[in-house]
Amino acid sequence: MERALTLHPAADRPGRLEFSGSPEAELFSREVAESLAGILRENLIPQRTPDGYPPGFVRASVPPRPWWDTMWTRDAGTFLRELVGWGYFEHAALVARCLIESVAQNTQGFCAFPEKLYPGKPEAGEEIDGTAAIVIGLVHLWRHLPPTHPFRATLRDFLHRPSSPVRYLQHQARVQGLIAGTGEFGPGCSVDGYYCSCVQNNLAMLALLAAAEMEAAAGEPALASDYRTTARGLSEKMLATMLYPDGSWMWGVRPEDHRPDPGILDEPVNRGTGLHNGVASMYADVLGLDPVGAGWPLAGPCWKTFERLLSAPLRREQFERHGFWPQWDPPFRGGLSSGPSYGEGYALQTMLLYDRLDLADRSLRWLARATFEATPQPFNALHRTSPYHFYERTYSPDAPGRVEFEEGCGALNLVNVTEPLKIARLMLGVDLAADGEVRLFPRLPACISRITARQWPLRDGQTVVTADIDLVRQPGGALDVSVRALGQERISQLSLRYRLGDGTIAQTHHDLTELKVTLG
C-alpha cells in the first residue's frame, strides 16, 4: 500500500554545503543555506490547509508578493531537481505527488502542464519548459529513491503511461518537427501565441534523454531508443534552423514553417535576453558537467551565444565595472536589471560549465554582495525576513535615476532560489546525472579556496551513499580532495575530474570508504 500524503522529513538525507576563502564565499554559503530553509518554511505546503492547498504545493512567491497563490510549473520542476540534488527525497516525493495530481489531460489525451497551477484546480497547458523541467525532476527522483520505496512505482507509471508528459513531448516533436510552446520561454514574457524557442526545445530534448535513461534501466530498451531518436531529431533541427550567421542561438522560429519571426525576435524581452543562456546551463540537468569535453553538438552555439551577449556594449561595461550581468539589452528595463535566475544565474552557470572561472569569480562576488547588501535598492523597496534571502530583481549600482525600481516577486521567489542552489552544486561538482558511478568535477573560482560538503548524497548504482567531501585548493592551483563515506557505506566507483591550467586531471577509484588525493 502506498504511503499517505504525509511528509516524512526523517527519511530525508539532506546535505550541507559551505564555501570559504573570501567574505563573498562566506556570504554565498549563508545565502544558499538560509534561502533554502526559507523556501522549505515559507513556500512549501507540508500538509493540506483549511483553504484547500494540497501537501507538496510550492508557492511561487511569499505572500503577499505577486503569484503567491500559484505554483509555476517550470519553477516547481527546478525545485524538484534541487530537492533531489540536495538529498531532500521525501520533500521531493511530496512535491512530485502534488504535481502529478495537479495536471490534467489535454484535448490530445496527454498530461501536459500549464504555465502555473492553482490549488485544487487540475489543468492542462502547453508550457513546454514547465512540462520538460518537471519530467527531468521526476526522473531524478525515480533514480534516487530506493527500489522498495512505495512512491517509485507511481513515478514510473506516470512517466511511462500512454498519456505521460514524456509521450506528449515525443508526439509534439514528431508532428511539428520542433515543439511550439507558450510562455516566457515560448514567444516571450507577456507575448501571446506559440513559438518554437531554442530554450524550450533544448529542454524538451533533455527531458526525452532523461526519460530514455529511465526506460533503459526499467527494461524498455526499444522505447529508450525511440526517445533518443526523437531527442536527436530535435537537436539536429535546432542546429539547422535556429542559428544566426555567427553561429549563436536566435530566440527561435515559427511553428508553421520553422523560419524566424522578426516580430518575436525583436520583442524587447527576447532580443539580447540572458534567457538564451538557458540552453547552455540546462545541459547539466541531464547530460553531465562537461559539455565541451563530452563533444555535445550544441556546445559551440551555446558559447557563441554567451560571447555575443557579453559583447553587447552596456552588458560588457556593467560586467567589467561591477560584475553585474544585465538580464536584458536596452531598452527593456534600461538594461540595468537582472536576477539570480535567468540573468545572473544562467550566465554564472554557463561560466562554470565552460570553465571560464575568471568570469565566474567576478559574477559570484557580485551575486553574493548584491544579495546581502540589496543595493542600490531604495530603503523600503525590498521586503524580506533575512538579508541572506535571494530575491527576484537585482539592479546595477548605476541604475538609480535611470530606471524605475520594482520589487517584483521579491525575496524567496522560487526560481530565484533554485538557480543559485544549482550554482552551489555545480561548484561542488557532484554530477547529478551520473549513472553507474559517482562523478566529481569541482570548479572553484578564485574567491573560493575551500568547499566543505557534509552528508552529501551520492548516487552509486542503485543506492544513495552519503559522504563528507572536502575540497581545498592549494596556492599553486592543485586540489586536495577528501571523500569519506559515512556509516557502513562504500562507494563502488568514484571518477574525479579537475581542470588545472590547460589540462584535465582524471582519476578513477574503486570500492572505497575513504579517499584522500591531490589533483595537480
| Same domain (yes/no): 375, 312 | yes
Look at residue 4 and tell me if it is in a domain.
no
14: domain CATH number is 1.50.10.10
pTM for this prediction: 0.97
Look at residue 1 and tell me if it is in a domain.
no
Are 131 and 164 a contacting pair, CB within 8 Å? no
Q: Which long-range contacts (CB under 8 A, 24 or more apart) does 233-238 make?
A: 233/173, 233/177, 234/173, 234/178, 234/179, 234/201, 234/202, 234/204, 234/205, 234/208, 235/202, 235/205, 235/297, 235/298, 237/177, 237/178, 237/201, 238/178, 238/198, 238/201, 238/202, 238/205, 238/298
Domain boundary among 379, 397, 428: 428
| Same domain (yes/no): 391, 491 | no
Look at residue 270 and tell me if it is in a domain.
yes
Residue 503 pLDDT > 70 = yes
Are 507 and 481 a contacting pair, CB within 8 Å? no
| Same domain (yes/no): 392, 447 | no
Q: What confidence score (pLDDT) does residue 464 get?
A: 94
Domain boundary among 428, 455, 490: 428
| Same domain (yes/no): 367, 492 | no
Cα distance between residue 250 and residue 195, in whole Å: 12
Residue 397 pLDDT > 50 = yes
Look at residue 69 and tell me if it is in a domain.
yes
Q: What confidence score (pLDDT) does residue 5 get?
A: 42
Residue 3 pLDDT > 90 = no
| Same domain (yes/no): 461, 398 | no
| Same domain (yes/no): 305, 168 | yes
Look at residue 433 and tell me if it is in a domain.
no
| Same domain (yes/no): 482, 396 | no
* Domains held by the chain: number: 2
Are 484 and 513 a contacting pair, CB within 8 Å? yes
Burial class (CB in 10 A: 0-12, 13-18, 19+), 403: middle
Q: What confidence score (pLDDT) does residue 155 get?
A: 98
Residue 1 pLDDT > 80 = no
Look at residue 2 and tell me if it is in a domain.
no
Q: What confidence score (pLDDT) does residue 508 get?
A: 98
Q: What confidence score (pLDDT) does residue 18 get?
A: 98
Boundaries of domain holding 470:
438-519
Burial class (CB in 10 A: 0-12, 13-18, 19+), 160: middle
Domain boundary among 428, 449, 480: 428
Q: What confidence score (pLDDT) does residue 11 get?
A: 64
pLDDT digits (tens, 9 = 90+) for 177-207: 999 999 999 999 989 999 999 999 999 999 9
Cα distance between residue 208 and residue 11, in whole Å: 30
pLDDT digits (tens, 9 = 90+) for 212-257: 999 999 999 999 999 999 999 999 999 999 999 999 999 999 999 9
Residue 2 pLDDT > 70 = no
| Same domain (yes/no): 92, 197 | yes
Written as one string, the DSSP assignment of 329-379 is: -TTGGGG-EE-TTTTHHHHHHHHHHTT-HHHHHHHHHHHHHHHHH-TTS-T
| Same domain (yes/no): 423, 477 | no
Residue 6 pLDDT > 90 = no
| Same domain (yes/no): 194, 73 | yes
Share of the chain above pLDDT 70, in %: 98
| Same domain (yes/no): 107, 126 | yes
Look at residue 508 and tell me if it is in a domain.
yes
Categorize the per-residue pLDDT at 78 as very low, low, confident or very high, splitting at 50, 70 and 90: very high
| Same domain (yes/no): 291, 310 | yes
Look at residue 496 and tell me if it is in a domain.
yes
